[in-house]
Amino acid sequence: MISQLCNDIFHEAIHDYHVFDDVDTKENNPHPTGSLEYLLYKKNWIDTVQWHLEDIIREPGIDPVIALQIKRRIDASNQERTNLVEYIDSYFLHKYKNVTLQAGAGFNTESPAWAIDRLSILSLKIYHMELEAEREDASKEHRKNCADKLRVLCQQEADLSTAIDELLQDIEHGRKYMKVYKQMKMYNDPLLNPVLYGKKN
């Protein structure tokens, strides 16, 4: 099942990142370039670095100049993340391009790769919530609350994993087809963002 592959690789990437736990650690993707495994590892690595950048930028006493630098880095990361999700969808589009559609076949409101994107974020939430649930310097109430949240997150992961597998099975058997819309983000495009192309109000 694809979801098991995703979850295994996401856990691998999260573990590898936390060996050094530094947003400037260079990604060392162990999977063959261009493979689905490579794309999934890279996807989660981007998410993991961005997770920690989001933590850092919320430090109350952060220097505004550094905060702006991190904000720019987060913006670039978001664009890279979007591009990679669309690349993963291209992988599935190619894989299922010759499937014969059944009569009445429909499409899903969310593409496979955007569902996988949510699964990647869930892996990070589970990892960090588990740390909070086991924090020795936290109160008993804090640990209990986090343990309760962890159970919910794990159920969400199981449900989303099932939904992803069922969606891909439906696509493989022609019960559904992929309909992918590009995100077309405008704020990073110098031709579409009025601030960047100098439009006057």
Give the tens place of pLDDT for each residue, 30-50. Answer: 999 999 999 999 999 999 999
Tell me, yes or no, whether 127 lies in a domain.
yes
Q: What is the pLDDT of residue 157?
A: 98
Q: What is the pLDDT of residue 44?
A: 98
The pTM of the full predicted model, rounded to 2 decimals, is: 0.90
* E strand map for 46-195: 106-107, 176-177
Which residues span the domain enclosing 185? Answer: 2-190
Tell me, yes or no, whether 195 lies in a domain.
no
Phi-psi region of 174 (alpha: psi -120 to 50; beta: other; left: phi over 0): left
Contacts of 162 (CB under 8 A, 6+ apart): 3
Contacts of 11 (CB under 8 A, 6+ apart): 123, 127
Tell me, yes or no, whether 196 lies in a domain.
no
Tell me, yes or no, whether 200 lies in a domain.
no
Tell me, yes or no, whether 166 lies in a domain.
yes
Euclidean distance between CA atoms 125 and 168, whole angstroms: 24
Tell me, yes or no, whether 135 lies in a domain.
yes
Q: What is the pLDDT of residue 49?
A: 98
Tell me, yes or no, whether 201 lies in a domain.
no
- In the chain, which stretches have pLDDT less than 70? 184, 199-201
Which residue pairs, CB below 8 angstroms and at least 24 apart, start in 124-128?
Answer: 124/10, 124/14, 124/44, 124/47, 124/48, 124/51, 125/153, 126/150, 126/153, 126/154, 126/157, 127/11, 127/14, 128/51
CB of 95 closer than 8 Å to CB of 108:
no
Domain total of the chain: 1
Give the tens place of pLDDT for each residue, 158-182. Answer: 999 999 999 999 999 999 999 877 7
In which residue are the tokens 């994107």 written?
117
* Identity of the amino acid at 112: P
Q: Give the C-alpha distances (Å, rounded to integers) separating 75 from 15, 29, 115, 123, 126.
A: 24, 22, 21, 22, 24
Q: What is the pLDDT of residue 24?
A: 97
Give me the DSSP letters along 147-158: HHHHHHHHHHHH
Q: What is the pLDDT of residue 201?
A: 52
Q: What is the pLDDT of residue 189?
A: 74
Euclidean distance between CA atoms 44 and 92, whole angstroms: 18
